[in-house]
Amino acid sequence: MLYIHHTACISPQQSFGDINIEALHESVNNQLLAMEPVYAGIPPGLLRRMGKAVKMGVGAALSLLADQPIPAGILIGTANGGMEDCIKFLNQIIEYDEGMLAPGNFVQSTANAIASQLGLLNHNHAYNITHVHRGLAFENALIDAMMLTAERPEGPYLLGAVEEISTYNFNIDFLDGWFKKTPDSNLRLYNTDSNGSLAGEGAVMFLVNGNPQSALASVKSVQFLHSDDEAEVATAFGNFLNKHADEAIDWMISGENGDQRVGHFYTRCESMLAPGTGICRFKHMCGEFSTASAIGLWLACYMIQQQKLPGHMIKKAATRGFGKMVIYNNYKRYQHSFMLIGN
């Protein structure tokens, strides 16, 4: 079991610093862009050379590490972190005919730039890894962290996920039909019957170990599968619930994203919950991206800590409190993950 002690979240909502997620910030041009804070912990000279994904990831992580021991491991999940700088670097190769290229874009152009920068800034020579598994990148990093805490519970380990809206990836996913073709708003995301969702981005960091004392929340179990068959997903979800039948689940945090092509997965799984289990949604707050499930986990910690959630998240009210939650996320129809979170 993994215990979460500190969290930080940079998202399109006011989730960093003075947190206020009651009021929704509206999307612009079908995109939910992260509200970036002042990155006080990053040296200005280094900050100028950082891409957006690296800035968000490093900024969120440094806010947790200021008064903490050096982590025994840094584990980041991302699918497209650093992609914007990668495209800039490739364009420079063509523009300058492979001549004098700016090194900054090259250094920041790989997915592991966030984890490596954190290692350099903290003089950390411990375990350092980036999981790049599309819509299951964060889940793989989370399982890795759970295995590490089983071996060395004291930790602590820095676990996180980072994603940015790069022009390249947005255009590819837009042409592939994953984002809405007509102007829409996150304020009415779940009232549409069209294909696609809204693009999102963000950075979420957790300081974790195997010690339950003073923990905000615990991750009890994680499971994922690849399938586009509704019955197979429902069977997997049912087995997941049965495996933890002794856990009275208060809320399901749903990754529903306004795409009519995937809504039936969520509807089927919701129907399998016990009566009285509440259902809430979060992608109208952050948009859709490959590691959005990390936002769901951050919200689970927030709900357990605050014993409340914003009204705009509620799809079905619960008859119980905020003790245990299951997160179900679906990315592009065929990547599904389940997480069981407790206090």
- Ordered by where they begin, the domains of the chain are 2-209 (3.40.47.10), 217-342 (3.40.47.10)
Mean pLDDT for the chain overall: 92
Of the pLDDT bands very low, low, confident and very high (cuts 50, 70, 90), residue 106 is low
Query: Could you tell me the pTM of the whole model?
Result: 0.93
pLDDT at site 107: 59
Q: What is the pLDDT of residues 74-94, one digit of tens each?
A: 999 998 755 666 676 677 777
How big, in percent rounded to 5, are the helix, strand and coil portions of the chain?
A: 35, 25, 40
Give the per-residue pLDDT at 300: 97
Q: Is the pLDDT of residue 12 over 60?
A: yes
| Mean pLDDT for the stretch of residues 18-37 | 96
CA–CA distance, 271 with 1 (Å, rounded to integer): 28
* pLDDT tens per residue across span 168-212: 889 989 999 999 999 999 999 999 889 999 999 999 999 999 999
Higher pLDDT among residues 300 and 103, named by residue: 300
Question: Which backbone phi and psi does 15 adopt, to 5 degrees?
Answer: -110, 5
Neighbours of 144 (CB within 10 A): 18
- Mean pLDDT, residues 34-56: 90
Residues 105 and 120: their CA atoms lie apart, in Å, by 17
Q: State residue 235's pLDDT score.
A: 97
User: Which range has the worst mean pLDDT, 68-82, 242-256, 267-281?
Assistant: 68-82
Tell me, what's the pLDDT at 51? 85
Q: How confident is the model at residue 28 (pLDDT cuts 50, 70, 90)?
A: very high
- Residues whose CB is less than 8 angstroms from the CB of residue 94 and which lie 6 or more positions away in sequence, other chains included: none
Q: Tokens for 60, please give them.
A: 């969120």
Expressed in angstroms, the distance from the first to the final Cα of the chain is 12
- Compute the average pLDDT of residues 107-132: 87
Question: Rounded CA gap, 230 and 173, in Å?
Answer: 23
Give pLDDT, residue 85: 66
pLDDT band at 117 (very low <50, low <70, confident <90, very high): very high
Going by their DSSP bridges, the two strands 324-331 and 278-281 should be labelled as unpaired
Pairing of strands 73-77, 2-10: unpaired
**Least trusted range by pLDDT, from 116-125, 212-221, 276-285:** 116-125
pLDDT of residue 223: 97
Contact 233, 226 (CB under 8 A): no
Report which of residues 108 and 48 the model is more confident about: 48
Confidence of residue 246 (pLDDT cuts 50, 70, 90): confident
Residue 310 token pair? 């914003």
